[in-house]
C-alpha cells in the first residue's frame, strides 16, 4: 500500500456508537507540531535559536529548502467571542505603526543570523487581523521583508482577511504587493450564529469579495468555517455549506470550535447551553464531508478540503503534505521563520516561540536580541514520533518498514506498547493494523487526533489534558 494513501470520504453520516464517542471524544492536541507547544521550555532562548539559524546558514542542518515566513499581526478592531488567537482589540491605528518599527528590528536580527537574502518560497500573514494594517503599512511591511529575504517568483504568498475590513480596491492593492492567495474568515453564514459570536458579516459581502479576487486572478482563495459554534444545528450548517458550494473557493478549512473559557476570556461571553452536543458535531462534520466531496472537493484530512487541482490536493496525492502551525502545508521540508508577538517557528531540529505580550516582545527587541521566550531542541525520539504522528495526520497511513529504515529502529519493537493500545481502536473500527502498516479508517478520521495521541510520549503520563480542545 503506498504511503500517499488518502482517506476515503464519508458518503453518509457515520454510524458511531455512544460508547465509542464517549471513550474517544477526549481532549488532545491538534498536532500542528510534535512535540506540541505546551512542551516548550523557557530554558530555550535567543542563543539557542541563533545556533539553529547559523547551522542553517552554514549548511550544517539538514534542511536546504527555501524558508517559509510567518508574520503575526495581533490587532483586531472588534472581538469575536470564539477566538483563541493571540490578539489585541483596539481601534487605535497608531499602534500598528509602532508594531511595524519593532518588526523591522526583528527582521534585521533574523537576517543577521540566517544571512542576507535567504530564499523564501512561502509567506503567510496571520493574526489577529492582518488587514488591520493600512494599505501603506502593508506595503511597508512587504518592502521590509523583500529587502531582507529573496522571494521566489513562483512562491505561495498568502494573507488572512476579515471580509469586513476590505473591499475590491484593497484586494487589488494586495495583488500588487505580491500576495497570490487569500484566506477569508467566514465561520458561518447563519445570522443567529453570527450574532452569538459577535461577528456580523452578510454572505453577499463575501461573495462579492471572492468574485473580485477571481477577477484579480489570485491563484487560490480559501474560506475558513467553524462547526460547533453556539446556536448551530446540523440543518443550519447545511445551509452554510450549500452557500459555500455555490461560492466554490479553492480551499476550505473546516475547524472544530474549541470551547476553553477557562483559558480564553472572550469565550466566557458564549452561553455554554447554546453549544451543540458532541454527537451533533459528529453529524455536522460527517455531513460536511459528504456535501463537500459530492461537490468535487478532495478531503485533505481532519479539517481541510481543496479542489483537485489546488496545490494542497496535489501535495496530498504526491505524499508531500505536512502540518505546521498554520495547519496543512504543501512544503514539508521548509524551515519556518516566525515574526511578531507570540509567533512560533521551526528551524532545523528546534521550535521557538516569541514573547506572548507586546510589552515583553518590545522589551526583548529594545535590548537588541531576538524575542524568543521559549522553545525546544528535539531529541531523536521526538523526531521519530513526529514522523509517525505527521504520517497519521496527513496521510492516515504509516508504513512500518519505511519509518524503521529512516530512523534505524524496529517499528514493532520500539512501538510495541503503542501497537497494543491500537488494538482496541482496531476493534472499534477506527484503524486497521497489520504486521506492515497502520491505516486510519473512514470512521477513524473523525478521531484522527486520538489515533495520533497514542504515539505522543508526553501524553502517556499526562493527567492534565483539559488544556487541549476536545477531539470532536
pLDDT tens digits, one per residue of 414-468: 999 999 999 999 999 999 999 999 999 988 988 899 999 999 999 876 655 555 6
pLDDT at 19: 77
Q: Is 184 exposed, middle or buried (0-12, 13-18, 19+ CB in 10 A)?
A: buried
* Residues 240, 1: Cα–Cα separation, whole Å: 37
With both helix axes pointing from N to C terminus, report the angle between 400-407 and 380-395 in degrees, rounded to the nearest 10.
Answer: 150
* Residues 52, 62: Cα–Cα separation, whole Å: 11
Q: Which residues pair with 249 in a beta bridge?
A: none
Q: What's the rounded mean pLDDT across residues 351-376?
A: 97
Three-state secondary-structure class, residue 186:
strand
Of 300-309, 357-366, 423-432, the range with the lowest mean pLDDT is 300-309
Q: What is the mean pLDDT of the chain?
A: 91
Whether residue 391 has pLDDT greater than 50: yes
The three cell numbers locating residue 347: 528551524
* Residues 90, 360: Cα–Cα separation, whole Å: 19
Domains, the chain = 18-26+380-467 (1.10.10.920), 39-339 (3.80.30.20)
Cβ contact 126:73 at 8 Å: yes
26 or 431, which is more confident? 431
* Residues 250, 327: Cα–Cα separation, whole Å: 16
pTM of the model: 0.90
Of 123-132, 278-287, 382-391, the range with the lowest mean pLDDT is 278-287
Whether residue 255 has pLDDT greater than 60: yes
* Residues 103, 109: Cα–Cα separation, whole Å: 10
Cβ contact 213:182 at 8 Å: yes
Amino acid at each position: 500500500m503506498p504511503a500517499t494513501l488518502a482517506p476515503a470520504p464519508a458518503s453518509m453520516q457515520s454510524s458511531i456508537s455512544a460508547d465509542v464517542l464517549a471513550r474517544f471524544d477526549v481532549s488532545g492536541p491538534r498536532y500542528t507540531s510534535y512535540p506540541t507547544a505546551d512542551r516548550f521550555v523557557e530554558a530555550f532562548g535567543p542563543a539557542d535559536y541563533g545556533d539553529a539559524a547559523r547551522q542553517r546558514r552554514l549548511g550544517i542542518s539538514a534542511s536546504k529548502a527555501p524558508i517559509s515566513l510567518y508574520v503575526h499581526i495581533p490587532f483586531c478592531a472588534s472581538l469575536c467571542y470564539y477566538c483563541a488567537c493571540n490578539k489585541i482589540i483596539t481601534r487605535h491605528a497608531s499602534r500598528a505603526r509602532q508594531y511595524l518599527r519593532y518588526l523591522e528590528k526583528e527582521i534585521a536580527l533574523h537576517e543577521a543570523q540566517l544571512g542576507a537574502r535567504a530564499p523564501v518560497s512561502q509567506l503567510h500573514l496571520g493574526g489577529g487581523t492582518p488587514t488591520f494594517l493600512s494599505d501603506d503599512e502593508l506595503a511597508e511591511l512587504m518592502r521590509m521583508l523583500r529587502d531582507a529575504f529573496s522571494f521566489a517568483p513562483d512562491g505561495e504568498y498568502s494573507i488572512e482577511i476579515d471580509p469586513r475590513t476590505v473591499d475590491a480596491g484593497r484586494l487589488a492593492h494586495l495583488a500588487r504587493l505580491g500576495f497570490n492567495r487569500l484566506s477569508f474568515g467566514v465561520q458561518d453564514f447563519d445570522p443567529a450564529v453570527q450574532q452569538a459570536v459577535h461577528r456580523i458579516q452578510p454572505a453577499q459581502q463575501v461573495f462579492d469579495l471572492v468574485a473580485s479576487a477571481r477577477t484579480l486572478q489570485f491563484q487560490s482563495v480559501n474560506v475558513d468555517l467553524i462547526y460547533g459554534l453556539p446556536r448551530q444545528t446540523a440543518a443550519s450548517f447545511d445551509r452554510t455549506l450549500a452557500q459555500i458550494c455555490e461560492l466554490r473557493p479553492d480551499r476550505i478549512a473546516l475547524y472544530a470550535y474549541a470551547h476553553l473559557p477557562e483559558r480564553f476570556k472572550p469565550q466566557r461571553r458564549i452561553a455554554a447551553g447554546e453549544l451543540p452536543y458532541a454527537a451533533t458535531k459528529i453529524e455536522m462534520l460527517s455531513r460536511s464531508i459528504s456535501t463537500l466531496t459530492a461537490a468535487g472537493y478532495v478531503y485533505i484530512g481532519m479539517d481541510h478540503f481543496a479542489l483537485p487541482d489546488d496545490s494542497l490536493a496535489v501535495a496530498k496525492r504526491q505524499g508531500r503534505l505536512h502540518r505546521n502551525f498554520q495547519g496543512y502545508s504543501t512544503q514539508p521540508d521548509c524551515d519556518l521563520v516566525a515574526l511578531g508577538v507570540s509567533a512560533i517557528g521551526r528551524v532545523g531540529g528546534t521550535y521557538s516561540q516569541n514573547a506572548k505580550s507586546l510589552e515583553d516582545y518590545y522589551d526583548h527587541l529594545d535590548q537588541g536580541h531576538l524575542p524568543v521566550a521559549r522553545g525546544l531542541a528535539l531529541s531523536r525520539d521526538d523526531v521519530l514520533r513526529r514522523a509517525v504522528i505527521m504520517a497519521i495526520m496527513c496521510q492516515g497511513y504509516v508504513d512500518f518498514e519505511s519509518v524503521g529504515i529512516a530512523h534505524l529502529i524496529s517499528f514493532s519493537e520500539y512501538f510495541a506498547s503503542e501497537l497494543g493500545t491500537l488494538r482496541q481502536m482496531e476493534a472499534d473500527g477506527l484503524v486497521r493494523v497489520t504486521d506492515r502498516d497502520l491505516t486510519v479508517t473512514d470512521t477513524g478520521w473523525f478521531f484522527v487526533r486520538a489515533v495520533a495521541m497514542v504515539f505522543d510520549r508526553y501524553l502517556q503520563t499526562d493527567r492534565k489534558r483539559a488544556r487541549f480542545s476536545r477531539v470532536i
